[in-house]
Amino acid sequence: MDQKSTTIINCSQCNATSFRPSGDSTSHRCLKCATSVSASTTEDPVARRFSVKGLASRLYKNREKQNSMPNNYSSMNVKPRTSTARSNKRALLCGVTYNNKRKYKLKGTINDVQYMRELLITKFGYPDHSIRVLTEFEDKEFHPTKKNIETSLKWLVQDCQRGDKLVFYFSGHGLRQPDFQDDELDGFDETICPVDFMQEGMILDNEINTYIVRPLKEGVILHAIVDACHSGTILDLKYVYDYTNNKWIDNSPPSGVNKGTSGGLAICLSACEDSQLAADTTPHTGNKMNGALTYIFVESLKKNPDLTYADLLLELAESIQEAAVHDKCFHSRKLARIFRRRVLQEPLLSSSQKIDVNTYRVLQ
């Protein structure tokens, strides 16, 4: 059959596609819904030129091309050495490109993860084997599917104990949906989108809170950095910081449900407020993309690892505002080379406790 020309038949009932040899006028049943369909359907000009085998081969090659691995990509997951003692530093980094979904594809998320991983290792002493990385280009067990992200969130806080410092980082799509549990002041749940969100669904802020906020024991600190749209209160923490008025605002759920820790501290820096979109950047020559929050965050901490949250918020606010108003950059000239377009995003800091942003150092 694969050497003959073929006819493409679309089922009138379920629209499923099937193939029949050209000239075969016999009826057959749709493989999906069992409806009787006829091969007398108008022949597709593409099908006349290619055999079924040839057409499948072309589709496969096109898919492989779309899912091709970035140049010079090597796995960022390092197996722990057998004699390695337990580290009190652990990180989960997720970068989702949605490489098999052209409509949703992102270009800078792999760069984001690489930037963040390098920062944690070189400036903050995180062992490489204590950093778990999820991208589409890792082995299958480290793909950023909903199941793998949820499993890894549990891994991040598993057996946490006093003195532990944990980092959760996500770069990808974020969305929001109506809240039906009366635990959101704005009436919406914020979400992050795994690579398979169209099939398996999104991960809600309620779930993230359950996975990595509630289990935090006394003396354990979690720092989350989420570079995604609508990510403001993605961890559902009790307090959000009003940068303009320099004060903490109560973000407790109207329902009264407890979303606090088990004695530990959770701090989250989000790319934008719940109702806003996040931007991408093209730093330097414009041939390498990053999330705006990630780029400024990493560059600022590389220069000064002892940065306080107040210092960082000021750096972020000034840089993004200059880009939005003047297309200028850090200190007048840098952001013009970074941002692809004018942006309007205001990074948001939230916390399970009211911390002193003027003295509390980022990632420490």
Looking at 173, 193, 223, 272, which residue is catalytic?
A: 173
How many other β-carbons are positioned within 10 Å of the β-carbon of residue 185?
16
Q: Report CA torsion sign: 135, 136, 139, 144.
A: positive
Q: Which of 197, 81, 92, 77 is nearest to 140 (CA)?
A: 77
Q: Is 331 a catalytic residue?
A: no
Q: Nearest 5°: CA angle at 131, between 225 and 260?
A: 45
Q: Is 268 a catalytic residue?
A: no
- Look up residue 221 and give its two tokens: 């600190």
Looking at 11, 94, 229, 268, which residue is catalytic?
A: 229
- Look up residue 10 and give its two tokens: 């679309």
* SS3 at position 241: strand
Helix or strand run (H / E) with residue 309: helix 309-326
For helices 109-124 and 292-303, angle between their N-to-C axes, nearest 10 degrees? 20
What amino acid is encoded at 333 in this protein? R
Catalytic residue numbers?
A: 173, 229
